[in-house]
Chain A
Amino acid sequence: NAGVTQTPKFRVLKTGQSMTLLCAQDMNHEYMYWYRQDPGMGLRLIHYSVGEGTTAKGEVPDGYNVSRLKKQNFLLGLESAAPSQTSVYFCASTRLSEPQHFGDGTRLSIL
């Protein structure tokens, strides 16, 4: 059972480039989340989805877009990367009132 899988694991971008981070879960979870983690800041919610075809903004949504075309996948896009988006990005999934299950993260550096 793979759980939550994030790709890629590492990426370096130049300012202004775009990219998409992929999250896949095989637990048939309805809810999926994207977080960023910065030193001393804990985990901050970027966007989330409560089901296929639905998305909503979290605490820090600016500069990011998401899509949930299939129940098992949740994509996070950066249209024009900025150095302030250098971070570690985590995806999680769950059923309501259960613990969120996390992937191992994508380490993104923007130069």
Chain B
Amino acid sequence: GESVGLHLPTLSVQEGDNSIINCAYSNSASDYFIWYKQESGKGPQFIIDIRSNMDKRQGQRVTVLLNKTVKHLSLQIAATQPGDSAVYFCAENIKGSQGNLIFGKGTKLSVKP
């Protein structure tokens, strides 16, 4: 299987519970943030994004919160399902960097049925 999950922080939740995955970003000049989901053997898949002029954005079962004061980003997944089990990455885009993203090291989410 995919070895991307080695040495990663792990969050284990019960099916049906809410999950919160946190990310600290590095640069105060970052103006765009993205959460990706990566399943074993697959490439990162876009979940939700948020721009720096917003504090909160909601999608289907997912919410992203941005706290620019402490440079913190979180992903909330409501009613977590076994299919949500994956590694989750946050990524930041520094303004003026030609779209280059800086990725966090990821958090592995395990959902217990």
Contact = CB atoms under 8 A, between A and B. Distances in A.
A102 B3 contact: no
B63 to A, nearest CB: 17
Secondary structure dominating the interface of B: loop
Contact of B3 (A39, A58, A94, A103): A39
Given A88-B4, A94-B99, A42 B44 contact: no
Interface in A52-111: 56, 58, 88, 90, 92, 94, 96-97, 99-105
Interface string A39-51: 1111111001010
Contacts of A103: 43
A58 B42 CA distance: 23
B45 A42 contact: no
Classify chain A's interface size.
20 to 34
A102 B4 CA distance: 16
A101 B44 CA distance: 8
Given A31-B98, A39-B4, A42-B89, A99 B104 contact: no
B61 interface: no
Q: Which 8 residue pairs of A and B lie closest in terms of their CB atoms, listed nearest first?
A: A102-B43, A40-B7, A39-B6, A99-B46, A43-B103, A42-B105, A42-B103, A104-B43
Given A96-B99, A102-B36, 8 more contacts: A37-B4, A40-B105, A58-B100, A99-B46, A101-B46, A102-B45, A105-B42, A105-B43
